[in-house]
Amino acid sequence: MGKLRALWAYRGFIYGSVRREFQSKYRNSLLGSAWTVINPLAMIIVYTVIFSQVMQAKLPGIDNGFGYSIYLCAGSLTWGLFAEIVGRGQNIFLDNANLLKKINFPRISLPIIAVLNSGVNFVIIFTLFITFLLLGGFWPGWVVLGVIPVLIVQLIFAIGLGMTLGVLNVFFRDVGQFFGIFMQFWFWLTPIVYPINILPEPIRHLISFNPMASVVQSYQGIFVSGQWPDWNLLVYPLTLGLVLCLIGYRLFSRHSGELVDEL
């Protein structure tokens, strides 16, 4: 309770930091926050051109030419949010070492700032995506609301993983190095760029152990074919996410004293 009150007292700091980080990223650039949009847009165009046009990949059952682009966006934008939270999470204490060593403030506000910052970027891109769906006539209807619970599951998983890695990375710097590589494999082991049914059956079975696979597939279902997510599939990432949150919190509270000594 005391922790929550301290956090509430620092809401100004949290809000200010989120705003400042967003501003500082583009402060000295001419195009400013346009870069937030240009970056993912460039990636989507590259994948769309290569996979959809050059390789003539068509999603089974979807005929329009934008079907693949929507499929790709649904997966890669949400994966982007996941990757950003985990990436920031694992470096959160190292990046703020100076602040942690010199000033006494509620440390838990750092992960909150990181999540909020990733959230801001995501909202911008996602709004663009939604606009595109509306204008292009690909609006899937009320089923879009299904995104909210999926997003919550994904956030819990990402925060839990990020926190755990963040604490571990202070004591074992290998964790950060390793996870940079691991995330690349993880991206390609998740059906984002390709549809899962192009994989042979035994591998498809293995992919189901990937908690992000069911999350990403839920988004793709919503946006590409207008289906509500299969809630049963989300139980696995949700459980894993909660367990990771618990581990992360335990690690943090047990080692937060030692953490500053190690920075």
d(CA 203, CA 196): 10
Cβ distance 128 to 135 under 8 Å? Answer: no
Could you tell me which residues come within 8 angstroms of residue 182 by beta carbon, excluding any fewer than 6 positions away?
none
Give the Cα separation of 165 and 175 in Å (integer): 7
Minimum distance from residue 101 beta carbon to other proteins (Å): 6
- Of residues 172 through 191, those in contact with other proteins by CB under 8 A are 172
Task: Work out the angle at residue 82's Cα, subtended by the Cα atoms of residues 76 and 83, and round it to the nearest 5 degrees.
Answer: 85
Judged by beta carbon, residue 28 or residue 232, the one nearer other proteins is 28
Nearer to other proteins, 5 or 205 (CB): 5
Q: How far is the CB of 246 from other proteins (least distance, A)?
A: 17
Binding-residue pattern over the window 134 to 173 for other proteins, x denoting contact by CB under 8 A:
-------------------------------------xx-
Which tokens in the block code for residue 42? 């460039």
Binding test (CB under 8 A) with other proteins, winner from 2, 12, 60, 61: 12
4 binds other proteins (CB under 8 A): no
What separation in angstroms does the CA of 25 have from each of 6, 152, 204?
28, 27, 40
- In the region spanning residues 35 to 54, those forming contacts with other proteins, defined by CB under 8 A, are none
Instruction: Pick the closest to residue 148 from 208, 79, 219, 237 (CA basis).
Output: 219
Contacts with other proteins in 87-126 (CB under 8 A)?
98-105
Paired tokens of 199? 């994989």
| Minimum CB distance to other proteins, residue 120 (Å) | 18
Contact residues: other proteins, CB under 8 A: 9-10, 12-13, 16-17, 20, 23-24, 27-28, 98-105, 171-172, 256-258, 260-261
